[in-house]
Amino acid sequence: MSDQFDERKARASAWFRSLRDEIVAAFEALEDSHEGEGIPGRFEVTETTRASDDGSDAGGGLMSVMRSGKVFEKVGVNVSTVYGQLGAQAQKAMAARGVPGMDQDPRFWASGISLVAHMQNPHVPAVHMNTRMFWTPHAWWFGGGSDLNPCIEYAEDTAHFHDVQKAHLAPHGAGLYDELKAWADEYFYIPHRGRARGVGGIFMDDRNSGDWENDFALTQDIGRAFLPAFVPLVEKRRVQDWDDADKDTQLVHRGLYAEYNLVYDRGTKFGLATGHDANAVLMSLPPMAKWV
């Protein structure tokens, strides 16, 4: 399966990188077009590496973070391609999910993009997006999605975000949007708080229909949906006035995001367990949060 998938791995990795470049450019354009005070924010780009047990090349990627912009308080857009052998803990976790062959050959390859944006204006929603491909000698799959996390909710914003996702999923089959929306509602739920961390979106994991091309096309459309789903909300809400009470509401809500990512998020756990750059893995955490 390895030789068969070399070209597919390269295509997937290149796609995640191209999506990263498009999003970084769009976000810097939002900074340039905003008429508020301050200097437009720019991404700081750092190469990341994955630490292997034997010191061999294990891949890496780019961590792109913008801090203290006019629109974005903190936003990270990371892309990576990592490979090597899964440790015992990761093998056990994969086997528990039904991934075959973990006890025979623990090699893996994974590539993807991960994005989290925390905004200056409390009326502009925070957002998360990721898409990824995972390969082992005995299996492959895609995963990812995006979800909206407003601290001050607007029903029309939620409707727009979901409508764009639905439109991009429509070519891939009736009922798929409903399925992935329900999956997101379940996945991004915080049990110890008894609530979701936001207003949902779409999510999938372990996507292997048996047709790699179709599954890759679906993953690409999930990525393509992100900017048209999110950017119009930024453009509409970034000009609204806000006060200290609004900021306080935002900081408290961010606590939900931090709790979820540190306690439940599968990607965070996998990244730390497999030796990826900790700063890149924890890029999703907000710059400031508050608990009451």
Active site annotation includes 162: no
Q: CA dist 33 to 1, 73, 88, Å?
A: 48, 16, 49
Residue 249 Ramachandran class (φ > 0 left, ψ -120 to 50 alpha, else beta): alpha
Ordered DSSP codes for 175-201: THHHHHHHHHHHHTEETTTTEESSSEE
- Among 34, 123, 128, 253, the active-site one is 128
Residue 194 Ramachandran class (φ > 0 left, ψ -120 to 50 alpha, else beta): left
- Cα 234 from Cα 119, distance rounded (Å): 9
CA-based nearest residue to 173, from 117, 211, 206: 211
Element (H, E) at 271: helix 266-273
Ordered DSSP codes for 13-53: HHHHHHHHHHHHHHHHHHHHH--SSSPPP--EEEEEEBPPT
The count of residues in the chain is: 292
In single-letter form, the type of residue at position 280 comes to A
Task: Cite the active site residues.
Answer: 128
